[in-house]
Amino acid sequence: MKDDDQIIRVFSGTEMLVLMLKSELEECGIGAMVQNDFQSGVMAGFVAGLPSSVDLYIREADLAAAEPVIEAFLQVNPD
């Protein structure tokens, strides 16, 4: 695996905010992945994580293109 293929966390927040940012990134051609330990735990029959702590990941190679999108998103959604 090349260094620019690394996956990095770029945002953590509520599921709604994470999904909104994911959508904005994908509109710009940047693939994103959501990790929701709480939802995964509930589906498996046990609880792990917090419902307000959902993580959003992108490829490190996409970070430069994603930063302006993330910054604009945080201006509108500061929490």
Domain CATH for 56: 3.30.70.1530
- Residue 53: predicted pLDDT: 79
Terminal Cα distance for the chain, rounded: 34
Domain hosting 59: range is 3-76
Q: What pTM value is reported for the model? A: 0.78
Distance, CA of 13 to CA of 32 (rounded, Å): 15
Q: List, run by run, the mean pLDDT of 10-residue segments along the chain (79 residues).
A: 78 93 97 77 48 86 97 89
Specify the residue for token string 């509520």.
Answer: 14
Q: What total number of domains does the chain contain?
A: 1
Q: Give residue 37's pLDDT.
A: 65
Separation CA 1–CA 49 (nearest Å): 29
Tokens of 30: 């940047």
